[in-house]
Structure formats: structure tokens, C-alpha cells
Amino acid sequence: MQIASDTLSLIGHTPLVRLKGPSETTGCDIFGKCEFANPGASVKDRAALFIVEDAEARGALKPGGTIVEGTAGNTGIGLALVANAKGYRTIIVMPDTQSKEKMDTLRALGAELVTVPAAPYSNPCHFVHTSRRIAEETPGAIWANQFDNIANRRAHIVGTAEEIWTQMDGNIQGFTCAAGTGGTIAGVGLGLKEKDERITIALSDPHGAALYEYYAHGELKSEGSSVAEGIGQGRITGNLEGAPIDTQFRISDTEGLEWVDRLLKEEGLCLGLSSGINVAGAVRLARELGPGNRVATILCDTGFRYLSTLYDPAWREAKGLAVSRS
Ligand code: PMP
């Protein structure tokens, strides 16, 4: 075991774990990339570091500067920790529907938190537009713009994809995950296709998102809704442009939650719902590819971020979701 020289060098290089239940159910080997093991406990630390270092390299972010972003929470946590380690200030705009744990974590990290009511993207008060306005009005500030800034997906081309390829010794037939900004699916997809274009890249889309219909039938159209935080996209973001999606699944919260509960009870993994949706997608992809294939997915963040929601039986009941059997 090596000693890391600083906190930022702990971002990435995450373990890959074989998921026993999903593998046994399908006769395949299904692997989860443990992104909850990042210092900010989510996959978004990678994008945060790349976005900040890209802004520094372009000369847009100068010593003492401010980083402003609109986020479901995890990118904000990543940006705040990177900012602390590098001496910047952070202003984070979040919809008020996100978990209390994420807001408390952001405040603890010293980010200035602005919450806005959840609104459609077309509404000027949407958290993304609000964050852009704040960045424009704040001297010395940059707008991280994770949705359209492709420094985000570059983190997954040179980091996540490369690591998965090496960890699996180049023996991988499929990859799937859901999209928030799309940085992960597009970056890992592009990175893996560069290694072997036969690898099937599948999008696992939650209900309420428009990408399933787009990749299946060329039309951005959504149906239903999801309580999953951090995923569910309604447009082709800059990061999604040119993403090599071969196939797509629509995954319900119930299907994702079943895996969240099973992975906790049977394998001791405490995850958020986007991870459950990803694992459900990996099971579907493995079934399509057939027994003996090897599939990877992303375990996006820690379930400790959702103790007051997913892991609270009263919250689940209020949302009409199945309460986990113990
Ligand atoms: N899961 C969680 C919990 C997230 O916070 C995010 C980021 N919004 C994602 C998945 C999706 O990642 P990406 O933005 O790279 O599509």
C-alpha cells in the first residue's frame, strides 16, 4: 500500500468488485466500479477535479477565485473538496428536492449553498440557469457547467474507462450506466470503444428521463418519474454528444431498489438508487449478451447519503415504494 501525496491524488483509482448476486442470477460476471470510494464518496469527484484543472490550465480560474455550479449535490461536494484543497471559494446551487445529507455535507465543506425550487429546464429559475447567472455576477468566478463542459467526460475517458479496461485485463463485453450529465456513460463508452469497439455500451435510463426514447427512436420523450437523485436527463448535453450508445433499457425505481436492498443485505454494499438502477441495467445487459460474458457498471455514490430517504421506511412508504424486508 502506497502513501498518497495529497487528497486530490486519492480521486479515481477506485476498486472494482465482482457483484455476487447479479453474477449468479445471469451466469455472467458483473463488476461494480466502487465510485463511492472517492474522497467525496461519489463518481463526481473525478469530473470536479478535471473541470477545475481545465479552468486553471485555460487561465480562467486564478488564485483566490470562485467556482460556481448547479448540481444535484455530488458534483458540488466534489467541487467543494477540490476547491478547499486548492484554496478556492465555492457557491453551489441545488434544487430543494435533493437529500438533506448532501446539503449538510456541502455546508460542512464550507460551500455557500443556494437552494431553488425544482423547475423545468426551460424555466429561468432552474438550478443550472441560476448558477450561470451567479457566476456571471461574481468577480473572479468560473461556471463549472458540468452538463456541457466536456472536461467532465474526459475524466472518464482517461480515468474510469482506462481503469476498468486494466482491472478487467481487457476481457469485457459490456458496460452500462445511467446518465445525469452523461459524462460517465459517454466518457467510459468512448474510452472502452477505443480499446475494443465490440464492447456493447448500454444506457440504463430511469423513468422520467428522455434519453431512452431518443436512443431507441430518435425522439426526446419522457414518461413517468423517478426518485433517483443525480440521473434522468431531458436533453442531449454537450457531454452526451457523440456518445457511443449501442442499446438502451428503461429501468423503474422498483427494479433499481430491489438491487439496492439485495446488495446491502447479501453483499454489505450500501449504495444510492442510481447504483441500483445501474446494476439492474447490468443484469439486463448480461442477459442479452448471454452466460459467460463480463459486464461492468458504476456504483455511483454511498447510501449513507440517503439515510433520511431511501433507507427510511417511512419515506419509502410516503413515496409509494416497497419497504425493504429484513
Ligand atoms: N449517480 C449519482 C448519484 C450522481 O450524482 C450522478 C451525477 N449527477 C450520476 C449518477 C450520473 O453521472 P453523470 O453526471 O456522469 O451522468
* pLDDT at 1 (0 to 100): 82
Span from the CA of 70 to the centroid of ligand 1 (angstroms)? 13
Residue 82: pLDDT above 90? Answer: yes
* 71, 152, 181, 299, best to mutate for ligand 1 pocket (most atoms within 8 Å of CB): 181
pLDDT band per the 50, 70, 90 thresholds, residue 99: confident
- Ligand 1 atom nearest to 179, measured from its CA: 16
Span from the CA of 140 to the centroid of ligand 1 (angstroms)? 27
* pLDDT at 69 (0 to 100): 97
Grid cell listed for 1: 500500500
The region of weakest confidence among 23-27, 71-75, 241-245, 286-290 is 71-75
269-311 confidence digits (pLDDT tens)? 999 999 999 999 999 999 999 999 999 999 999 999 999 999 9
pLDDT band per the 50, 70, 90 thresholds, residue 31: very high
* pLDDT at 325 (0 to 100): 65
**Dihedral over Cα of 148, 127, 99, 319: its sign:** negative
Q: Where are the beta strands (DSSP E) in the chain?
A: 16-18, 29-34, 66-70, 89-95, 112-116, 141-143, 174-177, 200-206, 247-251, 294-299
Q: Look up 265 and say whether it is catalytic.
A: no
Helix, strand or coil, per DSSP, at residue 106 = helix
Span from the CA of 201 to the centroid of ligand 1 (angstroms)? 17
For residue 260, how many C-alpha atoms fall within 13 Å in the half-sphere facing its CB? 28
Residue 326: pLDDT above 80? Answer: no
* pLDDT at 113 (0 to 100): 96
* pLDDT at 154 (0 to 100): 98
Residue 48: pLDDT above 90? Answer: yes
192 close to 175: Cβ distance less than 8 angstroms: yes
* pLDDT at 323 (0 to 100): 87
* pLDDT at 143 (0 to 100): 98
* pLDDT at 148 (0 to 100): 97
Of the candidates 91, 94, 85, 100, which has an alpha carbon nearest to the alpha carbon of residue 125? 94
Section 66-73 average pLDDT: 93
Residue 16: pLDDT above 90? Answer: yes
282 close to 21: Cβ distance less than 8 angstroms: no
What is the chain's mean pLDDT, rounded? 96
Q: Is 150 in the pocket of ligand 1 (CB under 6 A)?
A: no
Residue 324: pLDDT above 90? Answer: no
Q: How far is CA 18 from CA 12, 29, 147, 294, in A?
A: 18, 7, 30, 10
191-240 confidence digits (pLDDT tens)? 999 999 999 999 999 999 999 999 999 999 999 999 999 999 999 999 99
102-157 confidence digits (pLDDT tens)? 899 999 999 999 999 999 989 999 999 999 999 999 999 999 999 999 999 999 99
Q: Is 99 in the pocket of ligand 1 (CB under 6 A)?
A: no
Grid cell listed for 145: 457547467
Q: When comparing pLDDT for 73 and 298, which is higher?
A: 298
pTM for the model: 0.97
Percent of the chain scoring above 70 in pLDDT: 99
Span from the CA of 71 to the centroid of ligand 1 (angstroms)? 10
Q: What is the DSSP annotation of 245-292?
A: --EEEEE-HHHHHHHHHHHHHHH---B-HHHHHHHHHHHHHHHHH-TT
